[in-house]
Structure 1
Amino acid sequence: MRDDDCRLWAEQAGAGPPLVLCHGGPGLWDYLAPVTRLLEQHARTIRWDQRGCGRSQRRGPYGIARFVADLDAVWDQLAGPRTALLGHSWGAHLALRYAIEHPERVSHLIYVSGTGIDPDRGWHPHYKRNLRLRLGPHLDRWEALSARDRTPAEEREWAVLQWSADFADHGAALHHADRMATPWLGINHDCSQAVNAEVKQELSRSDMAAQCRALDLPVLIIDGTEDIRPRWAVDSLHRALANSQRVSLTGAGHLPWVENPHDFRRAVATFLRQ
């Protein structure tokens, strides 16, 4: 599909009411196929690669407004007039922004492992400290790769090491991260830097809490209790939303459907039936 002549990859699967999925990053590609499989009896899921990423055309501009418009194009072609929306990590922020701008189009919002709306981003130093702690014996190699220009093979190795910190089970973390990196479609660092900088500016300049208070739709916030991003960062968002519920999944990190799939599926399916 296309928006402003930029080709966007998308795929749908499953049966039931439509549910649009927004992957995280920014600068990554869709890795939410396991979510599709978990929910295949409950929803027709629609996945897509954000512009410049994965199987979508590698071209800008990279910015929040442009990504919201791209999501709207996916919506028009595949979703329907009023549809549920799930976003993970950076994709949770994108989904929230879409719901704020197009509340009439969103029936349910599922905010998975996001990092909240606080303007000072006070969670980030805690994340960096927890990342280094979780990397454990892999810290030296990760630091060495972080400090230099990487070959394509080293770039994948660096990503797998970093992503391994997003899982609570140390014994399985590298395996889970390697599956995320397969197939390896390459990180768009230009996209990541541009969008992350804009998110930081947006939160410091806008009153997203007031926008969230005006949002009149049901919201489910899902966290993994072992996420290295501190979950108190999402408290102010939870308080600002008029109709929200929060579920914390034990034994799960940043990708809670991987390490606690049963409770993740139950929480999302129950919420979508409401």
Structure 2
Amino acid sequence: MTVTTDDGVRLWASRQGHGGEALVLCHGGPGLWDMFEDVAAMLEDRATVVRWDQRGCGRSERAAGPWTTDRFVADLDAVRQHFALDRPVLLGHSWGAQLALSYALAHPERVGGLVYVSGTGIDPVSTWRGPFEENFRARLGEVPERFARWQELTDGDRERAVLQWSADFEDRERALEHAGRLADPWFEINFECNRALGAETKQTWGSPGLYAACQGLDVPVLIVDGERDVRPRWAVDSLERALPRVRRVVLPGAGHSPWVEDPDGFREAVGAALSGSG
């Protein structure tokens, strides 16, 4: 299915499910694509689930930007309008959690709830980036040959991405298997998009205005963390402290993609959020 934005860019989108709440999934990156097939399948009996590939990514048109949060928020609103969704619940993962939060801050009247999965909070990027990189190298370095191979490969190579994503899983025996499933199907990573949005985040995240906006957000928010995420979970404390209507679920034994390593716990947490939204 194709969603056309107000500036004429075609976005890939998909809808499945059996009624109930509307749930829109926002994938991570920036510059990646929807990897939520399993999430949609586990929730389709509780919600009408919409997935989409962000501008210039995955199955969407390879547009030349603009790569800004405001533009991506407008694209998300185009998806909402295309499917005639009144006040959907937004579920964002990693960068997608930041995008979903940005949308809720811009249009709180259009959001029934927010599920913030594996994000990094609202403090400056510099507070958590160094510890994350240390954790990543330690986790991938548990198997030295994998770390060495990751260093040999170039950005954009599927094998390098799979090795990198394998550090996101606590189950080290199945980490490559899990990461390989996320990379199937494989699309070209949009590094221009990734760099531009990353630079914007470094400039704008952590501002007093952002904290104040989150303190005034009158939308129910569920924060879902995998306890063993290599991105430090204390980074999310900043967001939890700011939000007036927030609940947090930490899934022990799960990493950055908690629906993979604790599907039952993830489904229970998100199902409760769907039931309690609005």
What is the TM-score when the length of structure 1 is the normalising length? Answer: 0.95
**C-alpha deviation, 1:206, in angstroms:** 5.2
Q: Any conservation in 1 of the 2:21–2:46 contact (CA below 8 Å)?
A: yes
Across the aligned residues of Structure 1 and Structure 2, the Cα RMSD in angstroms comes to 1.1
Q: How many residues align?
A: 268
Tell me which residue corresponds to 1:140: 148
How many percent identity over aligned positions? 57
Tell me which residue corresponds to 2:130: 125
SS in 2 for 1:269: helix
Structure 1 portions without partners, runs of 5+: none
**C-alpha deviation, 1:120, in angstroms:** 4.8
Tell me which residue corresponds to 1:113: 118
Which of residues 253, 257, 271 in structure 2 aligns to 1:269?
Answer: 271
Residues of 2 paired with 1:218 and 1:204: CA distance? 22
Residues of 2 paired with 1:143 and 1:120: CA distance? 24
Q: After the TM superposition, which segments of 4 or more aligned residues of structure 1 sit over 3 Å from their partners?
A: none
Which amino acid is the alignment partner of residue 95 of structure 1?
A: A
Residues of 1 paired with 2:274 and 2:86: CA distance? 16
**Residue deviations 1:160-190 (CA, integer Å, cap 9, x gap):** 0000001100000000111111111111111
Q: Any conservation in 2 of the 1:27–1:188 contact (CA below 8 Å)?
A: yes
**C-alpha deviation, 1:207, in angstroms:** 2.1
Tell me which residue corresponds to 1:13: 16
Which of residues 208, 211, 219 in structure 2 aligns to 1:209?
Answer: 211
**C-alpha deviation, 1:204, in angstroms:** 4.5
Residues of 2 paired with 1:239 and 1:131: CA distance? 26
**C-alpha deviation, 1:223, in angstroms:** 0.1
**C-alpha deviation, 1:58, in angstroms:** 0.8
Residues of 2 paired with 1:8 and 1:207: CA distance? 31
What is the TM-score when the length of structure 2 is the normalising length? Answer: 0.94
Change (3 A) 1:204 1:17: closer
Q: Any conservation in 2 of the 1:84–1:108 contact (CA below 8 Å)?
A: yes
Residues of 2 paired with 1:79 and 1:179: CA distance? 31
Q: Any conservation in 2 of the 1:20–1:79 contact (CA below 8 Å)?
A: no
Q: Does 1:77 align with 2:79?
A: no
